[in-house]
Structure 1
Amino acid sequence: MLPTPDTSHVPYSRVYEPAEDSFLMIDTLALPAETAFLTQRFGGGDDGDAGDAGTEKTPPLVVEIGSGSGVVLAFVAAQAAHLFGPSGSPLALAVDVNEFACAATRETARRAIGEERADAKKRGDRTERSTGTFLGAVRADLVAVLRPGQVDVLLFNPPYVPTPSVPANDNCAAAAAADDSADAVFARDSHLLELAYAGGHDGMETTDRLLAALPDVLSARGCAYILLCAQNRPEAVKQRIRAWPVAGDGGGGEKSWHAETVGSSGKQAGWEKLQIVRIWRE
């Protein structure tokens, strides 16, 4: 059993607390089928192994959109050797609209990577190969700060709860700083938490924005893991992704889009049932 990163330092009054959805994402990434997929696609196997066509594979860039507490991305960075193979060594970057979530993610990643490197040293492993490299956490809206074609693995546990509307993504933190009354701080913290769960119509308004940007932001070998609940109509979402336009590979072939459920909570009835969908191109 791989250790779950410590999030005891996270201020849950203003940052989404890890819950079943967070742990489902972690458990899915750690499944043998997914570690095999990630290792084959991005890892290098034993020391000295080369990538496809005799060239060494470059470290994958893993980006979590909406990192919250940072528990998922910290797990990926700390357990890089298990997920990507001993030569995977991913670079990990977090993006969140909540500045408190960014700060929480930085600390969660620092602790998780430090603990794994200490354990690796005790085991006699090469500590520099046991984990990935955490690049930082950026306050931004979805993929706005990412360059096209650069993301190898995108992780997204979106605000998926159906709500009448999606809260405005304004700088409420700055407004609360100008007015430090208890009412202003409570309003800010409530707004930040609402941003983490309120998904609008079918719970898909924010997810649809991310999906629209996905073909541009993913690298040629890129993939995405996105969490959906039953009321998000995941089967329809997957069918829509599979119908995305395909791009030629320069040799007359086509790289079609795939979307498959690779993890599921499997125990809850109704709209609360959760699943992780992997999206990729062959």
Structure 2
Amino acid sequence: MLPTPCTSHVPLDTIYEPAEDSYLFLDSLSAPSESAWLAARFAAPSAAPLLIEVGSGSGVVLAFTAGNSELILGRRDVLALGTDVNRGACLATRETVEKAVRQRQVASATDETDGLEASELGTENNEVKMKTLLLSAQTADLVSSLRDHSVDILLFNPPYVPTEEVPDLPESPEAEQQHPPGGPMSKFDSDSYFLSLTYAGGPDGMRTTARLLEAIPRVLDPARGVAYVLLCRQNRPADVVDGIRAWGGGWTAEVVGDSGGKAGWEKLVIVRIWRGEKDTSQLNIHNAAD
């Protein structure tokens, strides 16, 4: 079992704490069948893949995938990027990812050089071992800051809980002190607002997810791009998958992980979205959503 990245530095009063949905993401990406699929899709000597987590929050999913890129993607040279509308979440993501990459890749380099003579351990050797890089953690709305067809792997654990409404985005995204819409308020109200951004999905829980799905054909690399999106039962995942398959142009989707019974109050699934042939070895979407 691969270790979960450290998030002890994350301020949980304004940033979502890793929970069942986060761990389902980690388990699904590191499952032997899925890691084999990814390793085949991104096999060297192709260009280093750009890995992005949208709405990165604590950064635990991005950190896990980047830090364990050799085991999950079959290669070390991954470029990692996070986006979130909460500037505090971007700062947390940066620290979480940097810690995970440093820990896992240094450990890997130590394992591989164990037993070698000191004369064999040069600077060049160490540079080869540490290639995965965190490019940035950007304060941005979903994928609005990204170039067309630039993303190879997209991860999204959205605000999926059905709520009456979706909160407006915060003001001054680049300011050192971010404020909710309407300006400063009490710490309690401000903290509650930023936490609501992490879970409030609108009447069907799909308001933010629908915006992200619309952007997938624009931002994913047309040849090898793949997206992983978490959904709950009330998001009607079977309908979401059918809708993606109706895009045309070779787009398809499959459930590649589910929470089995209940995850807290709701059953969860991870949907893989990509261009290519339907993978009949994966979970049946209609059964997984029941």
Shorter-chain TM-score bucket reads 0.7 to 0.9
CA distance in 1, matches of 2:210, 2:183: 34
Residue 239 of structure 1: aligned partner: 242
Residue 69 of structure 2: aligned partner: 80
Residue 200 of structure 1: aligned partner: 202
CA distance in 2, matches of 1:174, 1:39: 39
The question of whether the paired residues in 2 share the 8 Å contact of 1:16 and 1:196 is answered with yes
Residue 51 of structure 1: aligned partner: none
CA distance in 2, matches of 1:168, 1:112: 32
Residue 139 of structure 2: aligned partner: 139
3-state DSSP of counterpart to 2:41 = helix
Given the alignment, which residue of 178, 184, 195 partners 1:174?
Answer: 178
Deviation at 1:131, TM superposition (A): 5.9
Tell me if 1:26 matches 2:30: no
The question of whether the paired residues in 1 share the 8 Å contact of 2:151 and 2:221 is answered with yes
Where structure 1 has 5 or more consecutive residues not aligned to the other structure, the ranges are 45-55, 247-255
Residue 78 of structure 2: aligned partner: 90
Q: Encode CA deviations 1:116-166: one digit per residue, 9 max, x unaligned.
A: 133123212565446621111000000100000000000000000000010
Residue 231 of structure 2: aligned partner: 228
Deviation at 1:270, TM superposition (A): 10
TM-score by length of 2: 0.84
Residue 15 of structure 1: aligned partner: 15
CA distance in 2, matches of 1:119, 1:230: 39
TM-score by length of 1: 0.86
Where structure 2 has 5 or more consecutive residues not aligned to the other structure, the ranges are 114-124, 277-290
- The structure richer in strand per residue is 1
Percent identity of paired positions between Structure 1 and Structure 2? 52
CA distance in 1, matches of 2:146, 2:265: 32
Q: Encode CA deviations 1:67-103: one digit per residue, 9 max, x unaligned.
A: 00011101111101101113x5211100000111000
> How do 1:1-282 and structure 2 match up within 5 A?
1-44=1-44, 56-86=45-75, 89-124=77-112, 128-129=128-129, 132-171=132-171, 173-175=177-179, 184-220=186-222, 221-246=224-249, 256-268=250-262, 272-282=266-276
Cα root mean square deviation, aligned: 2.0
Amino acid in the other structure paired with 1:150: S
